[in-house]
Amino acid sequence: MNLETKWLEDFVALANTRSFSASARQRHVTQPAFSRRIRSLEQAVGATLVDRSTTPVGLTPEGQLFLVTARNLVEQLSECLGHLRGLAMANEALDIVAAHSLALAFYPRWISRLQQGVGELPTRLVAMNVGDAIHVLREGNCDLMLGYHDSYATMQLDAEVFPSFSIGKAMMIPVCVPDDAGRPRFPLEGEAAIPFLSYTQGAFLGRSVRMLLKNDPTRLRLKTVYETAMAEGLKGMALQGVGMAWIPDFCIRDELADGRLVRAGDSVWDIPLEVRLYRCSLVHKPGVERLWRQMTKLPSDFLRA
């Protein structure tokens, strides 16, 4: 097999832009020349990597798999050249993607705790929904991912390809504002229809709530009055007294402590969650490898927020 580095860089650019013309401009070549280079890569690999029948173009299953390797090789070569040029690559920040609620309410406490065990750890954090975060991890576009794991709606990630550390426990609890007597304004035990603040259909936490309700023998009378993919958005509406929502406990510590929010039902309605840190084992970035080795040596209390 005779592969040229520029073909790998071309393929990574095409995977990012999903456009032959845009990638050609980015790579400073004509579109015909760029297309020939992608064809040459496919011939060298012995597989069709690009699905040209769609607009924008997509990757075939073989292309998706090869993309991780291509990115890995390009990044490793770049890092090696950086070292040779005397660049301080050891201090390069790690790119982390996380669910919005984890990025806002969980990550600061957790990273502060972790750095007590591993030392200074430069990071770049991007918040997005869980589905997008999984996609970014699978395509090798991030170093690490913070995501949820629960018994109802587990993420479809191969444990060998995407190893993980358990870094926290959480509980989704039903909450609402209190009435004048301090009791929940929208109790789950009541007979009236409950205004429900819901996660949108594709939200990971929403799947967990729906599975709980599916197995509910009491058949709660819920009337959806608001939907969003973000737990923080539901918290904001709950604080305005609009309805009841299931929200991770680490998002509402202060609101529960000062009484702005109260439980709408007892612990039978709680949904246990686990927070995990994922990586892709096919990517061998030195900073990630070093962090992973350090984490295996730490006691569990340093790993958990």
Which phi and psi (to 5°) does residue 4 adopt?
Answer: -100, 140
- pLDDT greater than 70 at residue 304: no
pLDDT in tens, 256-303: 999 999 999 999 999 998 999 999 888 778 888 888 988 888 877 656
CATH 1.20.1600.10, domain 89-168+274-303, yes or no = no
CA–CA gap between residue 136 and residue 143 (Å, rounded): 9
CA–CA gap between residue 19 and residue 32 (Å, rounded): 13
The CA–CA distances, whole Å, from 259 to 123, 195, 196, 253, 256 equal 35, 20, 20, 10, 5
pLDDT band per the 50, 70, 90 thresholds, residue 138: confident
β-strand partners of 123: 94
pLDDT in tens, 1-53: 577 889 999 999 999 999 999 999 888 888 888 999 999 999 999 999 999 99
The residue to which tokens 């439980």 are assigned = 263
Longest CA–CA span in the chain (Å) reads: 76
CA–CA gap between residue 53 and residue 187 (Å, rounded): 53
Residues in the chain: 305
Tell me which fold the domain 5-84 belongs to. Arc Repressor Mutant, subunit A (1.10.10)
CA dihedral 151, 298, 292, 78 (to 10 degrees): 140
Q: 184, 176 in Cβ contact below 8 A?
A: yes
49: CB partners within 8 A, 6+ apart: 11, 38, 41, 42, 59, 60, 62, 63, 66
Every domain of the chain and the residues it spans: 5-84, 89-168+274-303, 170-273
CA–CA gap between residue 20 and residue 179 (Å, rounded): 60
Q: 141, 64 in Cβ contact below 8 A?
A: no
pLDDT at 259: 96
pLDDT band per the 50, 70, 90 thresholds, residue 193: very high
Q: 261, 177 in Cβ contact below 8 A?
A: yes
Q: Do domains 89-168+274-303 and 170-273 have the same CATH topology?
A: yes
Q: 128, 183 in Cβ contact below 8 A?
A: no
When pLDDT is averaged across residues 213-242 and rounded to a whole number, the result is 91
Q: 189, 160 in Cβ contact below 8 A?
A: no
- pLDDT greater than 50 at residue 89: no
In CATH, the architecture of 170-273 is 3-Layer(aba) Sandwich (3.40)
As a whole number, the mean pLDDT across the chain is 87
